[in-house]
């Protein structure tokens, strides 16, 4: 039995604190996807809170034959979609993160705020479907089959989204270079 499956069993047996191990194990990776996908930390934390809450409520339906991380990611991708949908009704404003970074633990000392802001800004310019596909492929490094299981989209559609995302990013780079 994997560590994940063992922790799930402990939670189902009544040991709620065992869920903290699962949250600890996956929070950072999920946070990276949510922040890159949604572009700001407030929305990302909303997505993460609701993801881990929904996963907890649905834990009785988790099947050990599935990887817990893949199951959790399916929920996370959907929560990011839901929050993006709610946010689409209000103006999108890029929020500088320096203040939050100053209050956060020094886990990324080599990464300048300028680079982070530029990367996030460029990602934000992508259509959400393209951004999602790009992040799953090249940041989370999932296979297309894994991406298909997460998103419900076909492999060929996902390959097209990734290619279009790369084309858009390249166009963006050429605009920067020419300016």
Partner 1 sequence: MTDRELDPYVEWIAREAKRAVAIDPMAVERVMARIRLEPLPRTHSPRWRWILQPRALPISPLVGAALAAGLVGIGILLGHFQIDRGGQSSTGGPTAFAVQQPPLAHDTLIKFVLVAPHAATVSVVGDFNNWDAQATPMTRTPTGGTWSVAIPLRAGRHVYAFVVNGANGTTQWVADPTAPLAPEDGLGAPNSVVLVGGSAS
Task: Supply the minimum distance, in Å, between the C-beta of residue 2 and partner 1.
Answer: 18
Say if CB 120 and CB 32 are below 8 A apart. Answer: no
Q: State yes or no: residue 164 binds partner 1 (CB under 8 A).
A: no
Could you write out the three-class secondary structure of 144-162? HHHHHHHHCCCHHHHHHHH
Residue 93: exposure state from Cβ atoms within 10 A (0-12, 13-18, ≥19): exposed
Binding mask 96-125 for partner 1 (x = CB under 8 A): ----xx-xxxxxx--x---xx--x--xx--
Among positions 47-66, residues that touch partner 1 (CB under 8 A) are 48-49, 52-61
User: For residues 2 and 22, which CB has a smaller minimum distance to partner 1 in the complex?
Assistant: 22
Q: State yes or no: residue 84 binds partner 1 (CB under 8 A).
A: yes
Q: State yes or no: residue 71 binds partner 1 (CB under 8 A).
A: yes
Q: State yes or no: residue 6 binds partner 1 (CB under 8 A).
A: no
| Per-residue b or e along 110-124, where b marks 16 or more CB atoms closer than 10 Å to that residue's CB | eeeeeebeeebeebb
Residue 34 main-chain phi, psi, to 5 deg: -65, -40
Among positions 17-46, residues that touch partner 1 (CB under 8 A) are 17, 19-20, 23-24, 27-28, 31-32, 35-36, 41, 45
CA 134 to chain centre: 11
Q: State yes or no: residue 78 binds partner 1 (CB under 8 A).
A: yes
Angle between helices 18-38 and 41-57 (to 10 degrees): 140
Binding mask 135-154 for partner 1 (x = CB under 8 A): x--xx--------xx--xxx
Task: Supply the minimum distance, in Å, between the C-beta of residue 179 and partner 1.
Answer: 14
């Amino acid at each position: 039995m994997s560590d994940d499956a063992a922790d799930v069993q402990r939670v189902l047996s009544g040991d709620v604190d065992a869920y903290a191990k699962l949250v600890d194990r996956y929070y950072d990776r999920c946070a990276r996807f949510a922040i890159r996908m949604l572009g700001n930390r407030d929305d990302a934390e909303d997505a993460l809170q609701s993801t881990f809450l929904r996963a907890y409520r649905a834990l009785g339906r988790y099947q050990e034959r599935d990887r817990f991380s893949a199951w959790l990611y399916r929920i996370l991708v959907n929560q990011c979609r839901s929050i993006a949908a709610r946010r689409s009704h209000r103006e999108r404003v890029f929020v500088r993160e320096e203040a939050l970074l100053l209050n956060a633990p020094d886990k990324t000392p080599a990464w300048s705020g300028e680079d982070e802001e530029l990367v996030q800004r460029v990602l934000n310019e992508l259509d959400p479907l393209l951004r999602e596909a790009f992040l799953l492929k090249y940041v989370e490094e999932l296979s297309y089959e894994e991406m298909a299981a997460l998103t419900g989209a076909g492999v060929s559609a996902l390959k097209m989204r990734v290619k279009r995302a790369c084309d858009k990013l390249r166009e963006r780079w050429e605009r920067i270079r020419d300016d």
